[in-house]
Amino acid sequence: MKKYVFVYYGGADMENTPPEEMKVVMDKWMAWFEIFKEKTVDGGNPFGPDGTAVTSKGAEVIPKDMWPATGYTIINAQNMEEATKIASDCPILEMENGTVRVYEAMPM
């Protein structure tokens, strides 16, 4: 098995979403996680609204219009095809501009 990282972009504005709508969203995520629970390495977390980009020139806040990542999950899968198939059912894809990027975590 190889490790794959799902990096999420877009999704619900957790700070401004009414609780009843957030419950519907979270129920979809929990149902999706249940499908591949035996493959989960790290269920991940959503990211806070403010990220920082660090470069050799210093650090700066990632502007919201620069499409910052909104969360992650790490799974085990046989190959990229299997990981991509799992990601293709992610609830974030139901949201406007929702995207999952899938990366293989290379062994060191």
Residue 101 clears pLDDT 90, i.e. is over it: yes
Question: What b/e readout covers 4-39, taking b as 16+ CB neighbours within 10 angstroms?
Answer: bbbbbebbbeeeeeeeeeeeebeeebeebbeebeeb
The reported pLDDT for the residue numbered 66 is: 83
Residue 97 clears pLDDT 90, i.e. is over it: no
Query: What's the average model confidence in pLDDT over 31-57?
Result: 94
Domain ranges in the chain? Answer: 2-105
Question: What b/e readout covers 63-82, taking b as 16+ CB neighbours within 10 angstroms?
Answer: eeeeebebbbbbbbbeeeeb
Please check whether the domain covering 2-105 is classified as CATH 3.30.70.1560. no
Query: What's the average model confidence in pLDDT over 49-66?
Result: 90
Residue pair 8/92 in contact (Cβ under 8 Å)? The answer is: yes
Query: What's the average model confidence in pLDDT over 73-78?
Result: 98
